[in-house]
Amino acid sequence: MSTTVADLHDHHDDHGPAKGIGRWLFSTNHKDIGTMYLVFSLVMFFVGGAMAMVIRSELAIPGLQFVHPEFYNSMTTMHALIMIFGGVMPAFVGLANWMIPLMVGAPDMALPRMNNWSFWILPVAFSILLSTLFMPGGAPAGGWTMYPPLVLQTGDAFPYLIFAIHLMGISSIMGAINVIVTIINMRAPEMTLLKMPMFVWTWLITAYLLIAVMPVLAGAVTMLLTDQFFGTSFFLAAGGGDPVMFQHIFWFFGHPEVYIMILPAFGVVSEIIPTFSRKKLFGHDSMVYAAASIAFLSFIVWAHHMFTVGMPLSGQLFFMFATMLIAVPTGVKVFNWVATMWRGAMTFETPMLFSLAFVFLFTIGGFSGLMLAAAPADIQYHDTYFVVAHFHYVLVPGSIFAIMAAVYYWLPKWTGHMYNETLGKAHFWASTIFVNLTFFPMHFLGLAGMPRRIPDYSTQFTDFNTVASIGALGFGLSQLIFVWVIVTAWKGSKATDRVWEGAHGLEWTVPSPAPYHTFETPPKARIAGEAFE
């Protein structure tokens, strides 16, 4: 390693970070930008989480106790927008920024200035979105799906909502371009595509999904804008438009969006499970093909979100069959993870615990997904808490657990110190228990017929709602442990370069903490060793 650092001195006179705030404002360094993305998403998780606390407090018992229905609807709408666009997506972009150059042996992202811009758009976008909370007519309250005509009843917040979404989309597209260009052009010389680590692969596929669908969302919300202010009638029946067309366009974006939020999570656990099983990922190539198949199928299943809008029978059958097909590549992924563990020599550090919980609980979300695919049953489940349970299972113990696993896994590489393992495990067990306490009862509520997005409910739904609210409070508080572990991560023992006994990959060949500049010269396969196979 010392030779790498020496090389760096020879070629570069600017080898340290700039001083003061300028380091962050003008940064073109993938590690700094990655850190900013991750910190930003952590802040957004707490903002969105606070809104979830408002929602669960109001639903703890029947009757209205804390908020009015309009504000309640704003909370559900903003919670979703913030968690999706501010929490999960930037967290994965942050991980991509930090890890993809390290994993493919590149000195930085391919387009560093655009990288800076794509990050700094986000705080602006979310300031605009959050400012709507203080506007006449309140924050957007028509649901994150923004179905017209309801969304056109939004008050002064409406154009700000559209503009904020445009900005988030621009940021995502730029981030995706950067990921694709980096992966295609800047891999270490002997790293062929099929030798890339799974996290890099899933991000490559995710980036293509982003480029394909974010413009579609931009188009949909622009049509909303012109319907509202410029006299068009894309979605207004009175002017010859079609409200259902918006739903088709939205879900053509929305379904791939679901996979944008889960494919990088697949990548993360595909890195972690082999490390702690001390065994190579089972079926690397079939994992790649499975991820690509999921991405392809995600474009032809969108109308399964719309089985109740009155589609022709043939359309319903097509979307049902296509949706069921997704179970096949997703199943391959789960089976391959289990096969990776099989006859390994497992240890259970915090990243592994989160990854195992991911496999269990994401699979439960997958099961409810299969149930939802059966159209007649979907007609019963649709827009009830069963759906809320389903997508929270795939997003919270799915995507978010994978993000937490990734943070614990790579934190020693980022900080150069081991985090507090005992607190990490405490965080894991508290999160896992409370996440189930929160979301499992929602299946029962949905089956009993409780609709989504209601501030108050009929008294037969009381018991499970109370349980869910207690769980949500516990889950929210548990995340304070996470913050504490991160804040105190710099106090732990020194981390080795490899950090984990079973770790393989180029990121573990650089020192811990990773120097400000890495891989100034491309790594040789010889040095990387098994990382390339």
Partner 1 sequence: MIRKSFLSLLACCFAGTANADWALNMPRGITDLSVETYNIHMMVFWWCVAIGIVVFGVMIVSLFRHRKSQGVKPATFSHSTTAEVIWTIIPVVILMLIAIPVAETMIKLEDSRDPDLSIVVTAYQWKWHYKYQDEGIDFYSSLARPSLEARRKESGIDPNAVDNYLREVDRPVVVPRDAKVRLLLTSNDVVHSWYVPELAIKKDTIPGIVNEAWFKAKEVGTYRGQCAELCGKDHGYMPIVVEVVEPDAFRAWVDARKEGAARVARNQ
Q: Is residue 270 within the footprint of partner 1 (CB under 8 A)?
A: no
Distance CA 26, CA 34 (A): 13
The single residue among 347, 422, 488, 521 that binds partner 1, judged by CB under 8 A, is 347
443-482 binders of partner 1 (CB under 8 A): 444, 447-449, 451-464, 466, 469
Minimum CB distance to partner 1, residue 308 (Å): 5
Among the listed ranges 16-24, 248-256, 372-380, 484-492, the one in contact with partner 1 (CB under 8 A) is 372-380
- Phi and psi at 497, nearest 5°, equal -60, -45
Among the listed ranges 105-113, 264-272, 314-322, 411-419, the one in contact with partner 1 (CB under 8 A) is 314-322
**Would you mind telling me the total number of residues written for the chain in this entry?**
533
Distance CA 182, CA 430 (A): 38
CB atoms < 10 A from the CB of 280, how many?
14
Q: Kindly tell me which of 19 and 343 has the beta carbon lying closer to partner 1.
A: 343
The single residue among 374, 426, 433, 525 that binds partner 1, judged by CB under 8 A, is 374
Among the listed ranges 45-53, 112-120, 224-232, 318-326, the one in contact with partner 1 (CB under 8 A) is 318-326
Among the listed ranges 27-35, 57-65, 217-225, 481-489, the one in contact with partner 1 (CB under 8 A) is 57-65
Among the listed ranges 118-126, 136-144, 155-163, 422-430, the one in contact with partner 1 (CB under 8 A) is 136-144
Residue 281 is given by DSSP the state P
The sign of the torsion formed by the CA atoms of 507, 510, 511, 517 equals negative
The single residue among 26, 134, 229, 321 that binds partner 1, judged by CB under 8 A, is 321
Q: Is residue 429 within the footprint of partner 1 (CB under 8 A)?
A: no
Q: Kindly tell me which of 41 and 247 has the beta carbon lying closer to partner 1.
A: 247
The single residue among 107, 137, 219, 344 that binds partner 1, judged by CB under 8 A, is 344
Distance CA 354, CA 159 (A): 40
Q: Kindly tell me which of 254 and 455 has the beta carbon lying closer to partner 1.
A: 455
The single residue among 116, 172, 298, 384 that binds partner 1, judged by CB under 8 A, is 384
Helix runs in 132-229, H state only: 157-185, 198-229
Minimum CB distance to partner 1, residue 458 (Å): 5
Q: Crossing angle, helix 327-341 and helix 350-373, to 10 degrees? A: 150
Q: Kindly tell me which of 5 and 61 has the beta carbon lying closer to partner 1.
A: 61
# chain residues binding partner 1, by CB under 8 A: 99
202-261 binders of partner 1 (CB under 8 A): 237-238, 241-244
Contact 113, 28 (CB under 8 A): yes
The single residue among 50, 193, 377, 480 that binds partner 1, judged by CB under 8 A, is 377
- Phi and psi at 451, nearest 5°, equal -70, 160
Minimum CB distance to partner 1, residue 22 (Å): 45
59-78 binders of partner 1 (CB under 8 A): 60-70, 73
Minimum CB distance to partner 1, residue 286 (Å): 5
Q: Please choose, from the candidates 263, 182, 21, 94, the residue with its C-alpha nearest in 3D space to the C-alpha of residue 519.
A: 182
Helix runs in 67-156, H state only: 69-81, 89-104, 112-131
Q: Kindly tell me which of 92 and 464 has the beta carbon lying closer to partner 1.
A: 464
Q: Is residue 195 within the footprint of partner 1 (CB under 8 A)?
A: no
Minimum CB distance to partner 1, residue 354 (Å): 14
One-letter amino acid at 520 equals E
Minimum CB distance to partner 1, residue 267 (Å): 17
Distance CA 38, CA 97 (A): 10
Q: Is residue 133 within the footprint of partner 1 (CB under 8 A)?
A: no
Contact 510, 102 (CB under 8 A): yes
| Residue 154 C-beta-side C-alpha neighbours within 13 Å | 29
Distance CA 201, CA 505 (A): 14
Q: Kindly list the catalytic residues.
A: 79, 108, 144, 171-172, 255, 257, 259, 270, 304-305, 330, 333, 452
The single residue among 137, 159, 283, 492 that binds partner 1, judged by CB under 8 A, is 283
Q: Is residue 317 within the footprint of partner 1 (CB under 8 A)?
A: yes
153-172 binders of partner 1 (CB under 8 A): 153
- Please compute Rg for the chain using Cα positions: 23
Among the listed ranges 181-189, 195-203, 280-288, 483-491, the one in contact with partner 1 (CB under 8 A) is 280-288
Distance CA 303, CA 372 (A): 12
Q: Kindly tell me which of 443 and 517 has the beta carbon lying closer to partner 1.
A: 443
Minimum CB distance to partner 1, residue 68 (Å): 6
Give the CA-trace dihedral at 303, 358, 40, 173, to 10 degrees.
-40
Q: Please choose, from the candidates 208, 302, 194, the residue with its C-alpha nearest in 3D space to the C-alpha of residue 264.
A: 208
Contact 273, 341 (CB under 8 A): yes
For tokens 């595909």, what's the residue? 270
One-letter amino acid at 181 equals V
What DSSP letter does each residue of 460-495 carry, written as one string? GGHHHHHHHHHHHHHHHHHHHHHHHHHHTGGGSPBP
Q: Is residue 296 within the footprint of partner 1 (CB under 8 A)?
A: no
Q: Is residue 432 within the footprint of partner 1 (CB under 8 A)?
A: no
Distance CA 208, CA 178 (A): 11
Q: Kindly tell me which of 296 and 516 has the beta carbon lying closer to partner 1.
A: 296
Q: Is residue 300 within the footprint of partner 1 (CB under 8 A)?
A: no
Minimum CB distance to partner 1, residue 64 (Å): 4
CB atoms < 10 A from the CB of 5, how many?
15
Tell me how far the alpha carbon of residue 67 is from its chain's centroid.
29
